[in-house]
Amino acid sequence: MAAAPTRAEALSLFRSLLRTARQFSDYNIREYTRRRAADAFRENRALGDAAAAAAVFADGKKQLEVAKRQAVVYSLYAPKAKSIMEMKLQ
Amino acid sequence: MAAAALRPAILRRIRLSPSPAAAAGAAAASQPHALARWLARPMSSHDAHLTRDEVVDRLLDVLKCHPKVDPSKVSPEAHFEKDLGLDSLDTVEVVMAIEEEFKLEIPDQEADKIDSLPLAIEYVANHPMAA
ipTM, two decimals: 0.85
Report the distance separating Cα A25 and Cα A18, nearest Å. Answer: 14
B87 is catalytic: yes
Residue A56 CB contacts under 8 Å (≥ 6 apart), including other chains: A44, A47
Q: Do B112 and A18 touch (CB under 8 A)?
A: no
Q: What is the pLDDT of residues B83-131, one digit of tens each?
A: 999 999 999 999 999 999 999 999 989 999 999 999 999 999 988 888 8
CATH 3.40.50.300 for domain B52-125: no
Residues forming a β-bridge with B79: B116
Which residues of B make CB contacts under 8 Å with A?
87-89, 92-93, 96, 100, 108, 111-112
Higher pLDDT, B19 or A73: A73
Domain with CATH 1.10.1200.10 in chain B: 52-125
pLDDT digits 0-9 by tens, A4-37: 889 899 999 999 999 999 999 999 999 999 999 9
Nearest CB to B92 within list A11, A22, A45? A11
